[in-house]
Amino acid sequence: MIEPGELLKHINYPKDLRALGKDKLFTVCKELREYIIDMVSIYGGHFGASLGVVEMTVAMHYVYNTPFDQIVWDVGHQAYGHKILTGRRDVFHTNRVYKGISGFPKRKESEYDTFGVGHSSTSVSAALGMAYGVHHNNEDRKVVAVIGDGAMTGGLAFEGLNNAGISKDKDVLVILNDNCMSIDPNVGALKEYLTDITTSGTYNKMRDEVWKLLGKFSKFGPNAQEIASKVEAGMKSVLSKESNLFEGLGMRYFGPIDGHDINHLVGVLEDLKKIPGPKLLHCLTVKGKGFKLAEKDQTKWHAPGKFDKITGEIRKKVPSTPQAPKYQDVFGHTIIELAKENEKIVGVTPAMPSGCSMKYMIAEMPDRAFDVGIAEQHAVTFSAGMATQGLRPFCNIYSTFMQRAYDQVIHDVALQSLPVIFCLDRAGVAGADGPTHHGAYDIAYFRCIPNMIISAPMNESELRNMMYSAQLDKVDKPWSIRYPRGQGVMPEWKTPFEEIEIGKGRKIKDGNEVAILTFGHPGNFAVQACKELITYDINPAHYDIRFVKPLDEDLLHEVFSKFKKVITVEDGCVQGGFGSAILEFMVDNGYSSKVVRLGIPDEVVEHGTQQELWAECNYDKDAIIAAVKELAHAETPEVAI
């Protein structure tokens, strides 16, 4: 067990932190940073983001009376220090482990986690809503939102700021954690704007003078303070056009300040507690602060896995046999192959070029691949605009983040039947990131949209062929290709391209009595299950359906004409998903078979490894074997819904 430092081991809750003198805070920060390094090096998890906000975390819990005062984190992978200081230090080794604590703030886990997060750009809106509640309840509590500069590119953040700026009687502080990073380096005009603010010598010098002037005026009473505020606003307007963005939205702007100067941070926060209304504090931080390698290569050290904290060597198992690649890497290399042959192909991703492997195309074809920042709605409509001009956009968005752009998929793409190719990475259970990141719903939420083609590859070769088929000129509607996080099954994955006919599935093996219908990667679980079922003298048939929309009706007529017992397997929600589509076909065509659906249940699935969650959700190899054995012995052809 890792032992915390001499001060940290006595801090079980923020009240213990607040009992310390300010002269001890520097040491607390040092010990907290070392503890995070020790824990993540041994147990894994997100790394650089939490190191960058150590001082900010300590300062907030020192100044504010948490949990009565409310702190809202954005995204949440920067909240490790927060968790350690709020009663979870001794269980922190279970972070992101099956049945352990979540890697993100979670309301049911702690009263200090005021708002559940995992998706970006939500903090300002949530905090403003809390501030309205505080005002309504006549409570004297403070509300603080901590948002990273990467999350500021999300439209929701600006919607919140826009509303906050006119809410003059609502006391909310937004802390902008400016480190020029999300997972990958930030892009876009906002990044340039923040850089301009932080490097403007004239503005920063005059800002300091204005603050000194305000301090002198404050002793002459409220009227003088009002005059000083007008002086401040006027001088900012004249001397720094950059300062007008936040203040133009009605937020009082303070900063930029050094986010690693704990004593100054505490002083500023104590002052800001006395200033009513909506305000923004701009803090400059370094992602990975305190661990040199993480400071130098911030993308690599966002979530490096286990590592040697002395040498910096990241511990990775060296396989003894050739391994299958990750699906995302197959996508990343395949889109370049296709783009070299088809000049109409372009790539789009909302701030996940490393995660989805669009980074390869961005590096090789920078004029044809775009990271648009954390802005899923823009990514979809931007892709739709390019499609109107004859281009073939591959819009790669994690399944869970595609939820944020649902209206754009319907209104801007599907209603106009534009050939945008949606590649949904991390479809199915996402592993240790947990329920905020599981791609459970895309089959169901896309299946009801007119003009949408919905497909899933069973392996890397199928992914390549679906990508190839989707970019052909004859395709005149949007096409969704979903695939899971992590490895596929084909070490020799670079197969020649073959066109797949839209809506055509395939029979993997013939059999009798029971038919297994699979969609996507879980088809591999069924292949393994069929091999083991031979030992039980059971020989099910296996069909890889490939397309949920349109369905292969010829193949399904074959299935329901021959089999009275059918199992569907998917790594998506069973409510409204692939299995539901099969049931609808059966009923619409007058068949009556016993159908058992395996997939993600109608409940919140927590975090764990993918293997643990496949088993928990009952659609892994063993679950398929159990379902086939039970169904094979069932006598009545009733429909199990």
**Is residue 321 situated within a structural domain?**
no
Q: Which of 482, 514, 536 is the last residue of a domain?
A: 482
Closest CA to 503 of 452, 438, 468, 566: 452
**Is residue 318 situated within a structural domain?**
no
**Cα torsion angle, 430, 435, 441, 445, sign:** negative
Closest CA to 484 of 324, 626, 592, 252: 324
- What size, in residues, is the chain? 641
215: number of Cβ within 10 Å: 11
CB 397 within 8 A of CB 350: yes
Averaged pLDDT of the chain: 90
**Is residue 236 situated within a structural domain?**
no
Based on the fold, state whether residues 453 and 551 are members of the same structural domain: no
**pLDDT over 50 (residue 444):** yes
Based on the fold, state whether residues 476 and 559 are members of the same structural domain: no
Q: In the predicted model, what is the mean pLDDT of residues 188-211? A: 56
Q: Which residues contact 146 (CB under 8 A, 6 or more apart)?
A: 53, 56, 60, 71, 72, 73, 74, 78, 123, 175, 177
Phi and psi dihedrals of 398, rounded to 5? Answer: -55, 145
Based on the fold, state whether residues 337 and 406 are members of the same structural domain: yes
**pLDDT over 50 (residue 202):** no
pLDDT band at 31 (very low <50, low <70, confident <90, very high): very high
Based on the fold, state whether residues 374 and 457 are members of the same structural domain: yes
pLDDT in the model for residue 168: 87
Domains in the chain: how many in total?
3
Residue type, 602: D
CB 244 within 8 A of CB 196: no
pLDDT band at 425 (very low <50, low <70, confident <90, very high): very high
**Pair type for strands 345-349 and 392-398:** parallel
In tens, the pLDDT along 547-602 reads 999 999 999 999 999 999 999 999 999 999 999 999 999 999 999 999 999 999 99
Q: In the predicted model, what is the mean pLDDT of residues 281-294? A: 90
**Is residue 67 situated within a structural domain?**
yes
pLDDT in the model for residue 191: 64
Q: In the predicted model, what is the mean pLDDT of residues 29-45? A: 93
pLDDT in the model for residue 201: 46
What residue spans of 256-375 are helical by DSSP H?
262-272, 292-296, 327-341, 359-364
Cis check for the bond before 637: say yes or no (omega within 30 of 0).
Answer: no
Residue 563 sits in a domain whose CATH number is 3.40.50.920
pLDDT in the model for residue 395: 98
**pLDDT over 60 (residue 241):** no
Based on the fold, state whether residues 427 and 472 are members of the same structural domain: yes
pLDDT band at 53 (very low <50, low <70, confident <90, very high): very high
Based on the fold, state whether residues 561 and 452 are members of the same structural domain: no
Interhelix angle 155-165/123-136, nearest 10 degrees = 30
Closest CA to 499 of 474, 469, 528: 469
In this prediction, what percent of the chain has a pLDDT beyond 90?
Answer: 76
Based on the fold, state whether residues 562 and 513 are members of the same structural domain: yes
Give Cα separations from 58 to 16, 44, 66, 151, 160 (angstroms): 12, 23, 12, 22, 26
Q: Which of 415, 447, 482 is the last residue of a domain?
A: 482
**Is residue 44 situated within a structural domain?**
yes
**Range of weakest confidence among 67-81, 234-248, 297-311, 444-458:** 234-248
pLDDT band at 236 (very low <50, low <70, confident <90, very high): low
**pLDDT over 60 (residue 200):** no
Active-site amino acid positions: 287, 376, 404
Q: How many CA atoms lie within 13 A of 197 on its CB side?
A: 25
pLDDT in the model for residue 641: 44
Based on the fold, state whether residues 475 and 531 are members of the same structural domain: no
**How far is Cα 457 from Cα 436, in angstroms, rounded to an integer?**
24
Instruction: State the residue for tokens 């992602």.
Output: 287
pLDDT band at 227 (very low <50, low <70, confident <90, very high): low
**Is residue 195 situated within a structural domain?**
no
Residue type, 283: C
pLDDT band at 219 (very low <50, low <70, confident <90, very high): low
pLDDT in the model for residue 140: 93
Residue 472 sits in a domain whose CATH number is 3.40.50.970
Phi-psi region of 111 (alpha: psi -120 to 50; beta: other; left: phi over 0): alpha
**Is residue 223 situated within a structural domain?**
no
pLDDT band at 188 (very low <50, low <70, confident <90, very high): low
**pLDDT over 70 (residue 334):** yes
Based on the fold, state whether residues 548 and 421 are members of the same structural domain: no
Q: Which residues contact 255 (CB under 8 A, 6 or more apart)?
A: 176, 280, 281, 282, 283, 284
In tens, the pLDDT along 339-368 reads 999 999 999 999 999 999 999 999 999 999
Q: 483-494 burial, b if ≥16 CB within 10 A, otherwise e?
A: bbbbbbebeebe
pLDDT band at 317 (very low <50, low <70, confident <90, very high): confident
In tens, the pLDDT along 137-187 reads 999 999 999 998 678 888 899 999 999 998 888 999 999 999 875 555 655
Phi and psi dihedrals of 326, rounded to 5? Answer: -75, 145
**Is residue 193 situated within a structural domain?**
no
Based on the fold, state whether residues 387 and 534 are members of the same structural domain: no
Q: In the predicted model, what is the mean pLDDT of residues 99-117? A: 94
**pLDDT over 50 (residue 640):** no
Q: In the predicted model, what is the mean pLDDT of residues 515-534? A: 98
Q: In the predicted model, what is the mean pLDDT of residues 500-517? A: 97
**Range of weakest confidence among 77-81, 572-576, 635-639:** 635-639
Domain span at 372: 327-482
**pLDDT over 90 (residue 244):** no
Secondary structure of residue 564 in the 3-state scheme: coil
**pLDDT over 50 (residue 285):** yes
pLDDT in the model for residue 226: 59
Based on the fold, state whether residues 265 and 119 are members of the same structural domain: yes
Based on the fold, state whether residues 281 and 346 are members of the same structural domain: no
